Amino acid sequence: MEEGHRAKPGEEQAIALHTSFGIADRRGPLCYLVRGGVGVDFGRNADFIDEQTAAAIHTRYPRLCMAPSLTDAIVAHAQRSTDAAPPYSMPGDVLRERQTDGITLLELAASHGRWGE
């Protein structure tokens, strides 16, 4: 969040739960919409955005290798300690996948998503 921004009720929960499939969808409209919006950003369920609108969005807000960049940041944080990436957590899974396979499911899904990244 921007410096000086105070979270409104539900914002922190929506951000914290957006990676929790099944939970975010049941925690109210804000959690549901944040999870859906993040999914669209990765190309999931993005068919409602026409090509002209997509081009305008990506011209204004370049993707900048979003999936690999985000994954790199998650891995760097997760490597700090086991507390930063406990087993069965999203950061823990990302770290394990990167160490085991060199690429994560997040990166693979994004590469096959609507935006091809």
Quick check: is 71 in a domain?
A: yes
Quick check: is 93 in a domain?
A: yes
How many domains does the chain fold into? 1
DSSP label at 40? H
Quick check: is 91 in a domain?
A: yes
Q: Residue 75 in contact with residue 89, Cβ under 8 Å?
A: no
Quick check: is 95 in a domain?
A: yes
pLDDT means per 10 residues, the chain with 117 residues, are 72 81 84 89 90 93 89 95 91 95 91 84
* 11, 30, 48, 65, 80 from 107: Cα distances, Å: 26, 25, 22, 10, 21
> Residue 107's CB: how many other CB atoms inside 10 A?
22
Nearest to 11 by CA among 36, 29, 25: 29
pTM of the full structure: 0.76
Quick check: is 94 in a domain?
A: yes
Quick check: is 39 in a domain?
A: no
Range of the domain at 71: 63-117
Quick check: is 111 in a domain?
A: yes
Q: Give the pLDDT confidence score for residue 117 in this predicted structure.
A: 75
Q: Give the pLDDT confidence score for residue 83 in this predicted structure.
A: 93
